[in-house]
Structure 1
Amino acid sequence: MPAAPDDVVSDLPLAADFAPATADDWRKLVDSVLKGAPFETLIAKTYDGLAIEPIHARAKGAHAIASRAAAAPWQVMQRIDHPDAAQANAQALHDLDNGATGLTLVFADAIGARGFGLPPTAEAVAKALDGVLLDAGISIELEMGPQSRAIALRIADDIRTKGADPAACDIRFGLDPLGACAASGSSVSPWSDIAPAVAETAKKLAAVGFHGPFLAADGRVIHDAGGSEAQELAFVLASLVAYLRALESAGIDLDDARGMIHARLAADADQFLTLAKFRALRLSWARIEQACGLAPKPLFIAAETAWRMLTRYDPYVNMLRATISAFSAGLGGADSVCVLPHTLVLGLPDAFARRIARNTQLILIEESNLAKVADPAAGSGGIEALTRQLCEAAWRQFQDIEKAGGAFAALTQNLIQRDVVATRAAREANVAKRRDVLTGASEFPNLHEKPAAVLDAIPHAPEPCGDATITFDALAPMRLAAAFEQLRDRSNDWLKATGARPTIFLATLGTAADFTARATFARSFFETGGIEAVDFAPALPPNAPPHPDPLPNGEREKSAAATQTAIAAAFKASGAQLVCLCSSDQVYADQGAAAARTLHAAGARHIYLAGRPGKLEAALRSAGVQDFIFAGVDALAMLNDAWQRLEQR
């Protein structure tokens, strides 16, 4: 059969056969699903109070926001943080041979050291980079701590001694005194002394041929401490401006000065917020350039996947979090991305964890071709709206910091810390209530998981950098899962001491259709706290009718009594001290109070019920039910209370 002519294929009507969909059409469909519930229930809010609407029209007049060249991939940075410089060198060479295009050298006293890192010496760097051709297109990023100025100059001298051309080296030196002060809550000098010193270091590096950037405005310190997207952006903007002023005061032309600084943002598993955050930084920076009378020029933005989202338990889920984070940063226009290995919370990652971190990016770039399109989110109504809102919120906070005298002054006044602490508290409250879900930690735990392997390495202890003359509140890093992990740690200690984990007996009433949903909820609820659930499966008579039970009242009462007797016997055999009743509201109305009395008489020390009690609460409490678990309850408080009861045995 001959092929159809091209014009036949091109003239197929396809979408023309469908009537155009309007916003009103979508709204009608949504309202039909809501069944009377207000439309506003679908509007989500960020921690900055920004509204995320469920439906958006296509953005008009939008244009791409990008800095990378057309179809150019971002730099695949691999973290080098082994305390032994020789081992770090072996890792670096292996990473470069297997797809990494850059190395992030993390020193022991850096913001992102996470307990490890290279010794802060030029000798350690020289050994770690032995065999790395620095002037052959390899990107190097330095993450240094309070002593960074002296180390940066010594590293530069060593590179020149080896014969590498500084102008051909792609090195981001990462000088960041503001970030170091924010993380430590202290400074050995006032900003009036720090600013000229760091600017002079940048001038010296530029004078010998390095093109930079030399200074880093690092938002991770805000993100690590639990801050919001706008708070992170505001701090980065304030740091960029502070460094720009310092360089200009040192006699450097503004056009040259802006090329000496770059930014770093955390990328987390909130896909759309992360994507919008990177786009918002570019737009906000362009506004600063405009205020300075400069023509727009791309700001180099580095990304690192977020520390606070990582979990110690079920660490393999961290791979998925890292994938979404790298995806979002890459599409948001990051110039470089560093993926934290999934086992970093457990210790120094081994070769497998490092390989996964590296290949996560390579798959996104080489197989998924994500870098082929510049700013694919441009024109998306939802992303454009979120980007705009973030720009506005971050700019207001940036102005507040400027009114306080700049980033350093705002830190000494605890202005920045106050807002971050409030956001952190809100996050922790939502994690405790499992509104912000952490798979494997606060939901769907695996109490029988095998620990992941990490390297046996001794961390390098950072050296003191002098006595602080100025102190203020430190922005301490946190992890969202830490409180639930502490409960799991208690469970592990219990297991080591007794040979078994503490248990809770799930008293399931009625048929599987009645209890399965709430029994599953209860199992996940208690096992996130390390309390293992023991099931009771009621033995139903052959050919038992489905619920509701059509048996005569007398027969139904006999059946319920027999079930309660069986539950009491199973509870005693389980050895558990705690009980959770699991079933439907209708079964609770028929059997809940009687089952609670039976279990209380059988020795249950504390009885929970899965579900909201509603009108039954008074009757259930009088029968012995003490607590109710349901979606939105403070799970962390409930689990801590359960542990106190268990430890009072």
Structure 2
Amino acid sequence: MPDVSLSSDLPSSTQADWEASAAAVLRKARRLGDDDADSRVWDKLTLRTLDGVAITPLGTPALTADVPSAGLPGQAPFVRGSVAARADKAWDVRALHADPDAKVAAEAVLTDLENGVTSLWLALGRGGLALTDLPAVLERVLLDLAPVVLDAPAEPVAAADAFLAVLTDRGLTAAPGTSLGADPIGAAVREGASDLDAAAIDALVAQIAERATTHDLGALVVDASAAHDAGASDVQELAYSLAVGAAYLRSLVAAGLDVDDAARRISFRYAATDDQFVTIAKLRAARRLWNRVTELSGVTEEARAQEQHAVTSRPMMSRYDPYVNMLRTTVAAFAAGVGGATSVTVLPFDTPLGIPEAFGRRIARNTSSLLISEAHVAEVTDPAGGAHAVERLTEDLARAAWAELGTIESEGGLPGAGLAGLRARIAQTVTERTAQVATRRRPITGLTEFPNLAETLPARRPHPEGAVSAISYGGDFEALRDTPADTPVFLATMGSIASHTARATFAINLLAAGGVATQVAGATAGVDDVLAAYAAQPVVVLAAADPVYAEWGAELIEALRGAGARWIVVAGKPLEGSDANIAVGTDLLAFHHTLREHLAQPGAATRPQDGDQA
């Protein structure tokens, strides 16, 4: 048989070759010692999620030796997709509309549908559109062509009736994919409920089920983004979705539906983040897990495929430097599409600032359009399938989520006592994530990295009371930026520009991340030059190369003390006589809180004028 290897003319490499090459780079960066074995690169380069799941730096066949078959797209266990091939080689582009101004919302809905959006997600009631405005908002929408998913946490039955009345008045049959979108458990979780009323949930599900079956619509949405927005990890989000999905399956069967029909009337919503490989694996794992839950529930294979709606993460977005959100949501949308989501919603970049405007909505819908029509991301079903690293990550997330589901069920399940334990574990995740953001192990561009104190944020109308909220990953830093320090820090740059630039830039960005401006001394040849630029600021940060610190750092600290400096910080290793130091890995939150205490002491200087701030 002829050699048909695509790499037959290329030199072959072994795993040992890769380890040697990677080790050479790490040794050059001083992350690996000369005496360390090359194989240690695995420890150095393997990342871990907040759940402790490993993200390998290199996929090898050995990684997937114990991973069960992913099957084929459209077939159980549905890892490779809920359908064999996407219709029109595209995912459903779904736009969220929550503007309480009915006239503005109606125009925005039409603009979206005329420019690439293929389905609507409507937030209704408190925090969104008034139910009485629904006929006007949907007046010119072809409801038999464009699917609509309702989202009315406070009044799902009333919202369903309002929507069905629109269909009846117009004599229309809703487009396939339309759902009444009820999620009573998710609504209670978002409201912070400490426990859930199982009887009330069953009664509400029965009312929704009756309307859904009469009109052949979807009934329930398991909105796992409710857990994600509260700070849940990927594994916790997956486990939450399975627990809620199983609860809804039981409720629908109790309401009189057969188990297959019940499964078909439940869809799932997951958050897609800019951690692209984890998002891809999470969506693939979710389908495998739901297949197993429904298989154990007696659902036939045809009805076990999970309908997935992916929405770009709210917590990952930032109010500051909001245009970076375009990059985050692009990566998240790419991951959602590659991961096999049925529908994808890209939240506008200006969502954290208030109600999105036309430009934000345009960029959001065009993100999917470009990925589909120009990058052709949807041309291939499950393009990540077969990649050893992705298959390993998919399996590890699935196993961890199944174990977490077991914990939730052992504690009482959902709805039930299992919620309290899950909330406690999510709180631990939030604490760990906050620590990683504070030390910049999980950097946020434009907020904890490369902040711009002089930026002017675009103005937006505020979100209405009751709108969906989320725990922002950078919320602590946004709070600091909301109240910038009135007093600048004096940056004592020692020596030539070339010698101090690296540490000075590091210090300026670190200070700006907490809303603190700097006044820079510039190039200085000695203590007298620094003192000439010093204006009695209470806090001073020294920035220099190590040899310069050794030469006249101690002398400068003593001189600055005499000139009125009350708190002296060194960029780099601590110096004798200094009060603190900042370096890679510094807890920025703790540092900034202490810094502000010193800046607020009586006698502090005022903020620098325009042109003085670096």
Same fold, judged at TM 0.5 (above): yes
2:566 alignment counterpart:
605
Q: 1:233 aligns with which of 234, 238, 241?
A: 238
Residues 461 and 440 of structure 1: CA distance in aligned 2, closer, same or farther (over 3 Å): closer
In the aligned structure 1, how far is the partner of 2:213 from the partner of 2:585?
56
Distance 2:465 2:517 in 1: 38
Secondary structure, in 3 states, of the residue corresponding to 1:371? coil
Is 1:433–2:396 an aligned residue pair?
no
The residue that corresponds to 1:260 in the other structure is 265
Report the Cα offset of residue 187 of structure 1: 8.2
User: Matches of 1:486 and 1:278 in 2, distance apart?
Assistant: 33
Residue 564 of structure 1 corresponds to which residue in structure 2?
A: 527
CA contact (8 A) 1:217 1:263 kept: yes
Matched, 1:117 2:117: no
Cα gap change, 1:194 to 1:580, in 2 (>3 Å): same
Distance (whole Å) between structure 1 residues aligned to residue 522 and residue 151 of structure 2: 56
Q: What residue is the counterpart of 1:31 in the other structure? A: 23
Q: CA deviation at 1:364?
A: 0.7
Q: Which residue of 2 aligns with 1:512?
A: 497
Equivalent position to 1:16, from 8, 21, 42: 8
Question: Which of 184, 195, 199 is equivalent to 2:202?
Answer: 195
Which among 51, 57, 60 is matched to residue 54 of structure 1? 57
Secondary structure, counterpart of 1:383 in structure 2:
helix
TM-superposed CA distance for 1:383, in Å, is 0.9
Q: Of 146, 154, 162, which aligns to 2:162?
A: 154
Aligned to 1:273: 278
Choose from 67, 70, 74 the match for 2:82.
67
Show the 5 A alignment for 1:388-407: 388-407=395-414
Cα distance in 2, alignment partners of residues 150 and 481 from structure 1:
37
Deviations 1:48-77 (A, max 9, x none): 111122222155765551124525311111
The amino acid across from 2:592 in the alignment is L
Is contact 2:125-2:155 (8 Å) kept?
A: no
Q: Shift of the alpha carbon at 1:598?
A: 1.6
Q: How far apart, in 2, do the equivalents of 1:366 and 1:234 lie?
A: 34
**C-alpha separation in 2, matches of 1:523 and 1:355:** 35
For the 8 Å contact 1:83–1:460, the answer to whether it is kept is: no
Aligned to 1:483: 476
How many angstroms does 1:108 deviate by? Answer: 4.6
Question: Which amino acid is 2:412 matched to?
Answer: G
Does the CA-based 8 Å contact 1:134-1:170 persist in structure 2? Answer: no
User: Following TM superposition, where does structure 1 have runs of at least 4 consecutive aligned residues deviating by more than 6 angstroms?
Assistant: 10-14
Change (3 A) 1:376 1:599: same
Q: Is the 8 A contact 1:153 1:201 kept in 2?
A: no
The structural deviation recorded for 1:185 is 2.8
Structure 1: which 5+ residue stretches go unaligned? 1-9, 110-115, 463-474, 495-500, 540-559
Structure 1 contact 156–205 (Cα < 8 Å) conserved: no
Note if 1:133 corresponds to 2:94.
Answer: no
> Residue 156 and residue 503 in structure 1: after superposition, are their counterparts in 2 closer, same or farther (change >3 A)?
same
Asked whether the 8 Å contact 2:315–2:471 carries over to 1, the reply is yes
The separation in 2 between residues aligned to 1:577 and 1:328, in whole angstroms, is: 48
Which position in structure 2 is the counterpart of 1:251? 256
| Mapping 1:247-326, distance limit 5 Å | 247-293=252-298, 294-296=300-302, 297-326=304-333
TM-score of the superposition, structure 1-length normalised? 0.84
Per-residue CA deviation, residues 226-270 of structure 1 (Å, 9 max, x unaligned), is 110000000000111101111111221111110010100011111
| Alpha carbons 1:339, 1:357 under 8 Å: kept | yes
CA distance in 1, matches of 2:394, 2:177: 30
Q: TM-score, normalising length from structure 2? A: 0.89
Q: Is the 8 A contact 2:353 2:462 kept in 1?
A: no
| Number of aligned residues | 574
C-alpha distance 405-461 of structure 1, shift in aligned 2 (>3 A):
closer
1:646/1:124 CA distance change after superposition, 3 Å: same
How far does the alpha carbon of each residue in 1:410-431 deviate from its partner, in whole angstroms, 9 at most, with x for none?
355x111011001011111111
Select which of 44, 49, 58 maps to 2:47. Answer: 44
Q: 1:626 aligns with which of 576, 579, 583?
A: 579
- Counterpart Cα distance in 2 of 1:648 and 1:431: 28
1:590 aligns with 2:544: no
Q: How does 1:502-581 map to 2 (within 5 A)?
A: 502-538=487-523, 563-572=526-535, 576-581=537-542
Which residue, 594, 600, 606 being the options, matches 1:647?
Answer: 600
CA RMSD of aligned residues (A): 2.3
Mapped partners of 2:6, 2:185: distance in 1: 57
Partner residue, 1:465: none
Q: Which residue of 2 aligns with 1:359?
A: 366
Could you say if the C-alpha distance between residues 310 and 568 of structure 1 is closer, same or farther in structure 2, counting changes exceeding 3 Å?
A: same
- CA drift of 1:135 comes to 0.3
SS in 1 for 2:218: coil
Looking at structure 1, the residues matched to 425 and 366 of structure 2 have their Cα atoms a distance apart, in angstroms, of 37
* Structure exhibiting the larger radius of gyration computed from Cα positions: 1
- Give how far 1:14 is off: 8.2
Query: 5 Å matches for 1:322-361?
Result: 322-361=329-368
- Cα distance, 1:588 vs. partner? 1.3
Contact 1:118-1:460 at 8 Å conserved across structures? no
Tell me how far 1:478 sits from its aligned partner. Answer: 0.6
SS in 2 for 1:214: strand
* Inter-partner Cα distance in structure 1 for 2:539 and 2:258: 70
What CA distance in whole angstroms lies between the structure 2 residues aligned with 1:244 and 1:360?
Answer: 34
- C-alpha deviations, 1:186-240, integer Å up to 9, x for none? 3897202321431332123211x23x32101111111111110000000000111
Task: Tell me, in whole angstroms, the C-alpha distance in 2 between the residues paired with 1:392 and 1:581.
Answer: 49
Equivalent-residue separation in structure 2 for 1:130 and 1:96 (angstroms): 13
Q: Deviations over 1:264-287 (max 9, x none)?
A: 001111111111110100111111
